[in-house]
Amino acid sequence: MSYYLDFTEQYNKRAKQFLKQHPDVEKQYVKTLQLLEINPHHPSLRLHALAGRLEGMHSVSINLPYRITLELLIHDQVIIPINVGEHGAVYGR
């Protein structure tokens, strides 16, 4: 079963800025997105639900310092990336 990534214009802008600032993680970023399409529950993504003001969203890891927050519509097999960045920035800390 594969999933579909639905990128918003706002996310694409954030991702472009993120990759411009962190070109060294581009390969890991692309690999993370590819794995999300194949299996969002893969252990290396460390998918987890968020709480508080981000309740209803999830997060996956690109690597230890960088995350992608997601809105997961698993029943339709659609994944909508919301934000990408450093751990604290993505979570609004």
Looking up residue 64, the CATH number of its domain turns out to be 3.30.2310.20
47 in any annotated domain: yes
Which of 46 and 90 is assigned the larger pLDDT?
46
Domain that holds residue 30: 4-87
Return the pLDDT at 89: 65
Residue pair 60/67 in contact by the 8 Å Cβ criterion = yes
How does pLDDT run across 52-73, given as a tens digit for each residue? Answer: 888 888 889 998 888 888 877 6
**The total number of structural domains that make up the chain:** 1
Residue 49, strand partner residues = 58
34 in any annotated domain: yes
93 in any annotated domain: no
92 in any annotated domain: no
Return the pLDDT at 74: 65
